[in-house]
Amino acid sequence: MYTLWIANKNYSSWSLRPWILLKALDIPFNEQLSYFENGKSSHEKFKAFSPTGRVPCLIDGEITVWDSLAIAEYIAEDHAQVWPLDKTAKAWARSAAAEMHSSFATLRQVCAMNCSIRIELDEITPELQRDIDRIDALWTEGLTKFGGKWLAGDKFTAVDAFYAPVAFRAQTYGLKLSVISQGWIDRMLKLPAMMEWVEASVKEPKVTH
Ligand SMILES: N[C@@H](CCC(=O)N[C@@H](CS)C(=O)NCC(=O)O)C(=O)O
């Protein structure tokens, strides 16, 4: 069985991606949670199980897979439902997940994931608005083009998992998106696995990192 190393559910957006993917697809795994160090880097602590000193990190017997995107692709080798089966939807989903993985620096920095609180932003800078607008356009495209309740069709796939932290960010910071995108956020926030993540996150020790 897979072992997935993650950090605090309240803060670790990268941990959420493979965790929600495995949960939503009902793929069994052992969760190993290692809390962030308070006020200092967690690199040394995480080096005990992760070659980069970062989470998430997946262990499958002798095999170690680090980095959320590589983990999703590794799981997909044995579980085809990780990506849409349709070739067009799969190409779109992979591109959108890769875009999340490599972009949206302003959103990530200004709206850091913090599931348990609500924050009113003083201003939405043009850079932040650009990230929000791109995500809104991307979600709208997926939801209309593939016509399902999830981003790339009628089944939850890795592209939904990759944007899961944005659903929490939208809730925490009250971000305004189109009605169609807000519909996806509402469905995500009601997923039993997302609710389980939040429930655990509020019980965790708070840290500054
Ligand atoms: N590109 C990596 C990013 C992983 C990452 O930055 N993880 C953060 C936590 S969300 C981390 O481990 N930080 C270690 C630290 O803060 O010392 C991935 O996709 O997995």
Write the DSSP assignment of 140-202 as a string of letters. Answer: HHHHHHS-SSBTTBSS--HHHHHHHHHHHHHHHHT----HHHHHHHHHHHHSHHHHHHHHHHT
Residue 209 has pLDDT above 80, yes or no: no
Q: Which of 8, 12, 14, 75 to mutate to test the pocket of ligand 1 (most atoms within 8 A of CB)?
A: 14
> Ligand 1 within 6 A of 50 CB?
no
> Ligand 1 within 6 A of 55 CB?
yes
* Rounded percentage of the chain residues whose pLDDT exceeds 70: 100
Confidence of residue 208 (pLDDT cuts 50, 70, 90): confident
Give me the pLDDT at residue 43, please.
97
Q: Which of 55, 111, 162 to mutate to test the pocket of ligand 1 (most atoms within 8 A of CB)?
A: 55
